[in-house]
C-alpha cells in the first residue's frame, strides 16, 4: 500500500501531534546540551523521520534551501528564551514581499533532569506562518503608511535609506517603483540585515491565531 502524499494541511496536523508527543519525551542525548543548533538539528531530524514513516514527500536539503520544497514550507526550531533563527539572503525584496515560502516554527523550552540525565523539550508554540506574512513588520507597515499618506518614489527611496535596506541605486529604484504599484502586505517577522537574514519570532508568537495568515497549530 503506497503512502499518502504529504500536504500542507497534513503537515500542520502532524506537527501538532508531534509537538505534543515530544513535549512528554525524555531524551538522554539532549542532557546538558546548550547549543541551540544541536537541539534544532535533533528536532528537525526526528520530525522528518516521523513524517517519512507515514507519508511520501520530497525532503529538502541545504542545496534545495528549504525543508519541504514541494510544499514551499521551511521548518524552524528555536528556543523560547530567544526565538530567532537564520535563513538564506536572496534579495532585499524578501524584507518587503516575504521570504517566498511559508514557515513552520517550533518554539521550545528545554529542561534537564539530573536524576535521569535526560533533557526534555517542552514545545511551547507551534506556529504556521503563511508566505504572505513572512516579510519584515516595521518595513512593511512603514511603507504602507507612506503610501496611505500619498508618498511618492522619493519618499519610498528615502525610507529604504533610513532602514538601511541592502540595495544599490538601480535595485532601490526598481523596488520603489514596485512598492508604488503593488503595496506590500504587512509581514510579522522581524528581519535583521546580515549576510544571512536573522529572523525573530516574538511578534509571530504574540499574533498567532489573531492575525490572518499566522496560525497557532499548538
Question: Tens digits of per-residue pLDDT, 90-146?
Answer: 899 999 999 999 999 999 999 999 999 999 999 999 999 999 999 999 999 999 999
The DSSP result for 60-82, as a single string, is --TTT-SSBTTTTEEEEEEETTS
- Kindly report the backbone phi and psi dihedral angles of residue 82, in degrees, each rounded to the nearest multiple of 5, phi listed first: -150, 80
Residue 210 in this model has a pLDDT that exceeds 90: yes
Contact status, residue 44 vs residue 123, Cβ threshold 8 Å:
no
Q: What's the whole-model pTM score? A: 0.94
Percent of the chain with pLDDT over 70: 98
Per-residue model confidence (pLDDT) at position 195:
65
Per-residue model confidence (pLDDT) at position 218:
85
* Mean pLDDT of the residues in the chain: 95
Q: Provide the residue ranges of all domains of the chain, joining segments of one domain with +.
A: 8-90+100-134+194-216, 138-181
Rounded Cα distance between 107 and 210, Å, is 18
Per-residue model confidence (pLDDT) at position 75:
96
Amino acid at each position: 500500500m503506497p503512502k499518502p502524499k504529504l500536504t500542507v494541511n497534513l503537515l500542520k496536523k502532524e506537527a501538532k501531534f508531534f509537538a505534543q508527543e515530544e513535549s512528554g519525551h525524555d531524551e538522554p542525548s539532549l542532557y546538558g546540551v546548550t547549543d541551540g543548533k544541536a537541539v534544532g538539528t535533533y528536532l528537525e531530524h526526528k520530525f522528518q523521520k516521523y513524517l517519512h514513516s507515514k507519508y511520501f514527500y520530497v525532503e529538502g536539503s541545504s542545496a534545495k534551501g528549504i525543508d519541504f520544497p514541494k510544499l514551499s514550507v521551511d521548518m524552524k526550531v528555536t528556543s523560547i528564551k530567544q526565538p530567532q533563527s537564520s535563513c538564506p539572503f536572496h534579495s532585499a525584496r524578501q524584507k518587503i514581499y516575504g521570504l517566498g515560502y511559508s514557515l513552520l516554527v517550533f518554539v521550545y523550552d528545554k529542561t534537564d533532569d539530573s536524576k535521569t540525565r535526560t533533557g526534555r523539550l517542552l514545545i511551547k508554540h507551534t506556529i504556521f506562518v503563511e508566505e504572505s506574512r513572512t516579510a519584515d513588520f516595521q518595513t512593511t507597515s512603514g511603507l504602507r503608511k507612506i503610501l496611505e499618506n500619498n508618498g511618492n518614489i522619493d519618499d519610498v527611496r528615502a525610507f529604504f535609506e533610513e532602514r538601511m535596506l541592502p540595495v544599490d541605486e538601480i535595485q532601490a529604484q526598481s523596488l520603489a517603483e514596485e512598492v508604488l504599484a503593488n503595496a506590500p502586505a504587512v509581514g510579522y517577522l522581524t528581519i535583521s540585515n546580515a549576510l544571512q537574514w536573522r529572523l525573530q519570532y516574538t511578534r509571530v508568537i504574540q499574533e498567532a491565531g489573531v492575525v490572518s495568515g499566522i496560525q497557532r497549530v499548538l
